[in-house]
Structure 1
Amino acid sequence: MIFFVHGEDDYLIDRRKKDLLAKARADRRECEFFCAGDAPAAAIADQSLNLSLFASQKTVFIDRLDEASKKDLDELAAKIIPAPEGIDIVFLWRERIKSSASAPVGAKKIMAASKVSEEKAPRGRALAAWAQNEARALGKELSQDAADFLAREAGQDMGSLAQEIEKCAMSLGKTSGKITAADAAGQIFSMNAGGIFEFANAVERKDRRAALKTLSRLLDGPEEPLIVLDRFYKTVLRIYRGKTLSAGGMTSSEISRLLFLNSYFDADFFSNISAHSTARAGDALDMTAACNLKLKRAGTNEEKKSAITVLVADYLR
């Protein structure tokens, strides 16, 4: 049997891959893994179709098919279709294919012979519902407010959303079965709030030395580098939304509740943000947006750390 899995969200693709792998191993199938482009298509096809002496069945995972050349796609389609008895092939295409008509010829042939599934990230209210289902799988109940908050925090990054839900569940342990919006907000800001706030201030002041020193400390922490950058972005964004609300007469405590800000924002915090700092926030937000765009599919964490540091240093030059 041939499976063709496609979609834009790497986390959902990886989860589908994990499910198929678990099933294959439960069925005691031999498993092999390839990445399109890492080896000639002919070599991948030949090795995929050969059973070892120790297994009568196997499942072959061919990842990142979207990175294969048209020639390699044609060759894979010609050699692998139809899959021999006892061999399952799982193709992973890490982009969304709107319709088979828009796919390259080789991909069309593979899709026509496959069980096709799109791993599609939910949107809007469906995203919050997905978050609640994830929490239930961990034995916790996620309130609607908490689900909305976490979904808003993660945007369309399903991996980040799943990670935050798991952190909330772990932090509560056995003390509570329900995760509230306050629990979710506190967990998200608890680890790096102070450092991120310090980094944001340094960027606003154009204090290159302080910003890079704080950034280095943040990136040496347990968080994935892009999550550090994303949290910095969202913290700064909330602070300056708070400034606008404060200018409109809303109290600090009301703003903190509305924007899920931590208690370290005291009564005078928003009124003390200067017009100059507010203007500098736009630069900080532009910088983090550029970083996220450039580093979306970067390599290792060390490469991401290096690239983020270079971008920040260039911005503050």
Structure 2
Amino acid sequence: MKDLENILKNIKNKAFQPIYFIHGEEPYYIDVISNALEENVLSEEEKDFNQTIIYGKDTNYREILSLARQYPMMGDHQFILVKEAQNLDLNEEISDELLKYIENPVPSTILVFAHKYKKLDSRKKFVKALDKAKFLFYSEPVKDYQVPNWIQNQAQILGIKLAPNIAHLLAEYLGTDISRIANELQKLKLILKPDEVLDGKLVERHIGISNEYNVFKLIDALGKKDAERAMKIAYYLGKNPKANPMVVIVSNVFNFFNNVLLYHTLKGQSAQAIAQTMGVNPYFIKDFDQASKIYPLKYLTRIISILREIDLKSKGLGNHNVSDAELLVEMIFKITNIDKTKVKI
């Protein structure tokens, strides 16, 4: 979110706005702003009288606006936080009432809407009014290829020194769940000694991600058709299925080979253009290029079929008491021997 630093700076300096309507697909930034306001608008003593926290499913806009028009008791502000505001019902009549309040808000009320997981309809009048008054804040999701840089920046803010490629390791394992990543980094901030560099061993010890034996190393081995290393990693993963659920492994392997297949269709374009079309970090294009030389299209369609078959078996369809560890070995054997394996498509 481009305006995040300014918003948080103003909140810290007690320069509040009467309305904060925070919306978007990424819940992390919505929580950051909401929590900052909850911590800074009122003192602990004032919260007993002037703080109201409600949930969208338990209220409606008319009740919220009625509360917002009240004045604080023994203080300068009242603070109203509407969590899960995406559950509020908004009809045309209420939209007009909300519009009137946006155009003339009560200065002593700090009204916050935490509208998660989806954007507001920018065509609606009240949304245009929020935007014009600078009361609207969009929490934009972080794309896959942006996560390593986000981790790098966040680590820098927290004063955590990262070893090379650790940001990529965390991004690959934790995905785009920014809230989870932020929590893990906060935990590491408390654990790490001053000037200690976060490397693969520390990540494995404190987060549980092995720098040598994880699903991404498995994908790397499969991408290079290194059957021996892939089997070693599979053995490690199979020993701890709770930490390495089969559904996650199959999903990640499927995504990789699906991207290799897509890479075949994009060959000839620049690495940057291919990465943008695929929605991946340009850093990984070399891996898809290498895998495309090992796995031609005819093999990739078979691999996709294998992965679908393994996925169904892992969910109990056509699986007669075969463990996930055994299914993992079967999957790796079939992929690394794809040129010798016949698959029903």
Structure 1 residues 175, 36: closer, same or farther in 2, change over 3 A?
Answer: closer
Query: Does 1:87 pair with 2:109?
Result: yes
Alignment map for 1:1-317 (pairs within 5 Å): 1-25=18-42, 30-71=50-91, 72-79=94-101, 81-97=103-119, 100-101=122-123, 104-123=124-143, 126-171=146-191, 173-174=192-193, 176-189=195-208, 237-238=215-216, 241=219, 244=222, 248-249=225-226, 252=229, 265=232, 269=235, 285=250, 315-316=315-316
Root-mean-square deviation over aligned CA pairs: 4.2
The structural deviation recorded for 1:161 is 1.0
Query: Is contact 2:51-2:78 (8 Å) kept?
Result: yes
**Partner residue of 1:212?**
none
SS state of the match for residue 151, structure 1?
helix
**Partner residue of 1:293?**
none
Partner amino acid, structure 2, of 1:25: L
The structural deviation recorded for 1:53 is 2.8
Partner amino acid, structure 2, of 1:15: V
| Structure 2: distance between partners of 1:66 and 1:15 | 17
The structural deviation recorded for 1:10 is 1.5
Query: Is contact 1:146-1:179 (8 Å) kept?
Result: yes
Partner amino acid, structure 2, of 1:100: S
Query: Is contact 1:139-1:177 (8 Å) kept?
Result: no
Larger Rg: 2
| Structure 2: distance between partners of 1:283 and 1:16 | 32
The structural deviation recorded for 1:105 is 4.3
Cα deviation digits, residues 192-228 of structure 1 (max 9, x gap)? x8xxxxxxxxxxxxxxxxxxxxxxxxxxxxxxxxxxx
Structure 1 residues 144, 99: closer, same or farther in 2, change over 3 A?
Answer: farther
Query: Is contact 1:146-1:182 (8 Å) kept?
Result: no
Structure 1 residues 148, 98: closer, same or farther in 2, change over 3 A?
Answer: farther
The structural deviation recorded for 1:12 is 1.9
**Partner residue of 2:289?**
none
**Percent of aligned pairs with the same amino acid:** 16
| Structure 1: distance between partners of 2:223 and 2:205 | 21
Task: Kindly tell me the number of residue pairs found equivalent between the two proteins.
Answer: 228
Query: Is contact 2:161-2:195 (8 Å) kept?
Result: no
Query: Is contact 1:2-1:114 (8 Å) kept?
Result: no
Query: Is contact 1:45-1:80 (8 Å) kept?
Result: no
Structure 1 residues 87, 169: closer, same or farther in 2, change over 3 A?
Answer: closer
The structural deviation recorded for 1:95 is 3.6
| Structure 2: distance between partners of 1:283 and 1:159 | 19
Partner amino acid, structure 1, of 2:56: A
Partner amino acid, structure 1, of 2:28: Y
| Structure 2: distance between partners of 1:149 and 1:250 | 22
**Partner residue of 1:198?**
none
Structure 1 residues 62, 73: closer, same or farther in 2, change over 3 A?
Answer: farther
| Structure 1: distance between partners of 2:173 and 2:53 | 34
Partner amino acid, structure 1, of 2:159: G
| Structure 1: distance between partners of 2:188 and 2:37 | 28
| Structure 1: distance between partners of 2:72 and 2:122 | 34
Give unpaired runs (5+ residues) of structure 1.
194-233, 257-264, 274-280, 290-311
Structure 1 residues 145, 75: closer, same or farther in 2, change over 3 A?
Answer: same
**Partner residue of 1:276?**
none
Query: Is contact 1:150-1:164 (8 Å) kept?
Result: no
Query: Is contact 1:128-1:147 (8 Å) kept?
Result: yes
Of 41-50 and 119-128, more deviation after overlay is shown by 119-128
Partner amino acid, structure 2, of 1:77: L
**Partner residue of 1:262?**
none
The structural deviation recorded for 1:8 is 0.9
Of 7-16 and 109-118, more deviation after overlay is shown by 109-118
Partner amino acid, structure 2, of 1:41: Y
| Structure 1: distance between partners of 2:143 and 2:182 | 15
Query: Is contact 1:4-1:111 (8 Å) kept?
Result: no
Partner amino acid, structure 1, of 2:35: K
| Structure 2: distance between partners of 1:241 and 1:250 | 11
Query: Is contact 1:83-1:89 (8 Å) kept?
Result: no
Query: Is contact 1:3-1:90 (8 Å) kept?
Result: yes
- TM-score, structure 1 normalization: 0.57
